[in-house]
Structure 1
Amino acid sequence: MDNVSIPEVINAAGKLTALGGSAQVRQVASAQADAASRNLDLTAYRQAAAAYIADLTGADAACVTTGAAAGLAISVAAVLTGTDPARIRALPQVSGPNAVALQAGHAVNFGADITQMIRLGGGMPQLVGSTNAVSSALLDATLEGGNFAAYVHVISHHCVQENMTPFTDAITLCRAHGVPVIVDAAAEEDLNRYVDAGADLVTYSGGKAIAGPTSGFIVGRGDLIAGCEAQYEGIARTMKVGKEQIAGLLAALALYTSRDEAAVNAKLADTNARLLAGLADLDPLKAELRQDEAGRELWRVALSGSFDAHALVSHLAAGDLTCGIQPIRTRNHSLDQGLVLLDPRELKGEHIGL
């Protein structure tokens, strides 16, 4: 950052792509710097890293990507083409069934439309049900009456959380109809759950819960992962992952899978407690704990009350560098409901009380 001048922000928004995902610890940054100074056979390095990730997650195989969104496009492409070179080169226009089922409440925008990621891989999204209602019976009937190449299930706070077909039901229905299941688990913390439950392909972000660089990976069935890897001679060429990303991802995964989860949770709880204490007497603000929208065991401080939430967010984001006040970014997914959320995961001790 020596050649450009922008203020560092205080991140109370969480692990968001717009804020660079996660601030990396020394070991992860050092691994990237070390890789940057070396010449490597990139394909061999990527595939060796994938084998390590597969072993770590208990999956048949894995494929390293630039992120979860790239992983979704690559996964759809793999289902449509397998390892057939001619079909890989024909994407995104490929013959044969290309319909991809997606619950209407899962057709989210995470910075881009998820339906566009499906189309990028050659799929044609077909929304099932209504935005606020997709019953298991309706999904069953849709799969029965169609010729689907895949079903995509999105695990995200962006999704409608109520009245959707649950993941376990979707797996059962797709198995009955012979439809491969692709799970977008970008920000998820559990690296085993979805594969263990029967998903065919699962795409993760390396830069969110895992706290690595901008990166990601797909885990799942060996034959479909072979199709994912083959996309690096097709659409994935535009998403190629660098040696620095791979090295940083591996270092972050090693730390993530050996972490003391109780200690991590205790630190987050302490941060939340300090936030609540600092905000206790600030009328008209009301501060309380609120669980993650997607049901993860993650708690944030929610601010509500008789104040202009949009104005507060704008004021905090502006900062005042003349007074030494850094911009503060909050979590604003519920802003229209008058809620401002403070996420503890990227906050540092010195940020509390500013």
Structure 2
Amino acid sequence: MRPLRHLLGSESYSKVTRVTKLTRVTRVTILADLADFRVIPSIEALRQRDGVRALESRYGAEATVKALRAGAERLRARIGAGEHLAQPAEAIETLAGDALTRRSRGSLRPVINATGVVLHTNLGRAPLADVAIARVSAVAAGYSNLEYDLELGARGSRTVHAESLLTSITSAEAAVVVNNNAAAALLILSGIAAGRDVVISRGELVEIGGGFRVPDIMRLSGAVLREVGTTNRTRVTDYTAAVSPATAMFLRVHPSNFRIEGFTERPSLAQLVGIARAMHVPVVEDIGSGCLLDDIRGEPSVQASIAAGVDLVCFSGDKLLGGPQAGIIVGRQALIARLRSHPLMRAIRADKVTFALLEATLAEYASGHAAHTVPVQRMLHAGADEIEARAQAVADQLTSAGWRVSLMSGSSAVGGGSAPGLELATVLVALERDGQSATDTARWLRSLDPPVIARIEHDRVLLDLRTVLPGQDDLLVSLLAHDS
């Protein structure tokens, strides 16, 4: 016979022990509660049900039994709270099935980004181009020449992948790809400046997000930080005064996630390269966002840095470039060769999925089609008139479905630490629901499948279609109309 504590659960058992000396009526009530708990079937009895057998066939016996036990505990809590359940076995089966479905779906799920933040770090940054998805599907589904030279029929090097496209687009001598831009910066500092001085302006000692700071990466690499100038003003003479036989490089970091305005001074890139050449010091630039098109205000392009004579430039693959997460380094052949041979390279190397996605994305830039085919670029170049037409169509359909909808002017953001302060004119869909606050509506939107991530301003839920993929407009309307 099952112990009383197990039948009741610890909370109900405590109640029983506290009232043993009370009246007969109280004891009868507790015994009635006990009878309610007994309606919960055993796990073995539940496993005989056809629906549960189907769950075991799909998800395995062990996982199904765990889900059944969790469902039984939830039912026990509901009964303890006074709820009457006519079909407890069916309820447990449903709870278990829902839990197993959620687990099999995984914790990483696709969402509809209606925030208007194009490079939303929390939502995975850059959505990938269709051609990139097709390429990675073909490469990842089978074997590939990741480290195999097809011409020689012998082992090759993965570091050559994407290099020809990168050098063609940027006019750099060579290129190498690692798994993210922080790793790229670490590799450069470790491979070229370990134990030596790195001269950097105090105003460029930035935090790149997630608590990671440039000085931290520098210490990890073994390089010695030599900060010059002040937060708001650094001159050419500050760099020249810091040069010594121990100087390994001038490091320039683009402060992509903030701006300093007003009483400021900073050497131009041409000035910095000029004094570096005269003093035989290489210049390394971390431009972060990886802009390959020169029409985004406030963001330096990789091509411009190479043209200015910068020796090494590193940047991210999943920001303005619109590709996969990657750290890309382009620049002088001799320096790239040193990085390729560094022991750290193996620890941070990119995999075949990254190379497939990156090459397909870069090919769109090489062909001149990126502004139309790379989602990030398409979103950034979308005009307010185009977005307004889409917003009006969505608003009309949602109004017909019973929502209170209005359109309003607003602005989108680039995000991802790129182009701070740059506002993109847009048209927003404002949603209101009877008897529901904006916070509750936003929470409800997140509960949909797929979840819809909106933003709240002035107690209104706002949808910015700039970041809703064009093919998702109908899905968005269907989700909101069906469940409204």
TM-score range (shorter-chain normalised) is 0.7 to 0.9
The whole-number CA distance in structure 1 between the counterparts of 2:287 and 2:191 is 18
The whole-number CA distance in structure 1 between the counterparts of 2:122 and 2:328 is 20
Using the size of structure 2 for normalisation, the TM-score is 0.55
What is the match of residue 469 of structure 2? 348
Gaps of 5+ in 1: 81-93, 304-311, 331-341
Q: 1:140 aligns with which of 218, 231, 239?
A: 239
Q: Do 1:106 and 1:159's aligned partners in 2 also have CA atoms closer than 8 Å?
A: no
What is the match of residue 54 of structure 1? 167
| CA RMSD between the two structures | 4.1
The percentage of counterpart residues that share the same residue type is: 22
The whole-number CA distance in structure 2 between the counterparts of 1:157 and 1:315 is 34
What is the match of residue 122 of structure 1? 222
Q: 2:382 aligns with which of 259, 268, 272?
A: 268
Structure 1 residues 26-59: Cα deviation after superposition (integer angstroms, max 9, x where no partner): 2112222222221434352332432442233211
- Aligned partner letter, 1:73: L
What is the match of residue 279 of structure 2? 177
Change over 3 Å in CA distance of 1:323–1:291 after alignment to 2: closer
Q: Do 1:72 and 1:184's aligned partners in 2 also have CA atoms closer than 8 Å?
A: yes
What is the match of residue 208 of structure 1? 319
The whole-number CA distance in structure 1 between the counterparts of 2:338 and 2:443 is 46
- Aligned partner letter, 1:181: V
Determine which structure has more spread, i.e. the larger CA radius of gyration.
2
- Aligned partner letter, 2:126: S
The whole-number CA distance in structure 1 between the counterparts of 2:126 and 2:223 is 31
Q: Do 1:50 and 1:62's aligned partners in 2 also have CA atoms closer than 8 Å?
A: yes
Q: Do 2:316 and 2:328's aligned partners in 1 also have CA atoms closer than 8 Å?
A: yes
Using the size of structure 1 for normalisation, the TM-score is 0.72
What is the match of residue 40 of structure 1? 145
2:128 aligned with 1:24: yes
**How much has 1:99 moved relative to structure 2?**
1.5
The whole-number CA distance in structure 2 between the counterparts of 1:180 and 1:101 is 11
The whole-number CA distance in structure 1 between the counterparts of 2:329 and 2:286 is 9
What is the match of residue 309 of structure 1? none
1:139-178 → structure 2 map (5 Å cutoff):
139-144=238-243, 147-162=246-261, 163-165=264-266, 166-178=268-280
What is the match of residue 116 of structure 2? 12
SS at 1:14's partner residue? strand
Structure 1 residues 170-212: Cα deviation after superposition (integer angstroms, max 9, x where no partner): 2223223322111112213233111110100001212222222
What is the match of residue 109 of structure 1? 207
**RCO higher in structure (CA 8 A, sep ≥6):** 1
What is the match of residue 91 of structure 1? none
- Aligned partner letter, 1:193: A
Higher helix proportion (structure 1 or 2) = 2
Bigger drift between 29-38 and 155-164 goes to 155-164
1:182-331 → structure 2 map (5 Å cutoff):
182-190=284-292, 191-231=302-342, 234-260=343-369, 264=378, 267-270=381-384, 274=388, 287=410, 299-301=423-425, 318=443, 320-322=445-447, 326-328=451-453
- Aligned partner letter, 1:24: L
- Aligned partner letter, 1:114: V
Q: Do 1:290 and 1:302's aligned partners in 2 also have CA atoms closer than 8 Å?
A: no
Change over 3 Å in CA distance of 1:147–1:29 after alignment to 2: same
**How much has 1:265 moved relative to structure 2?**
7.9
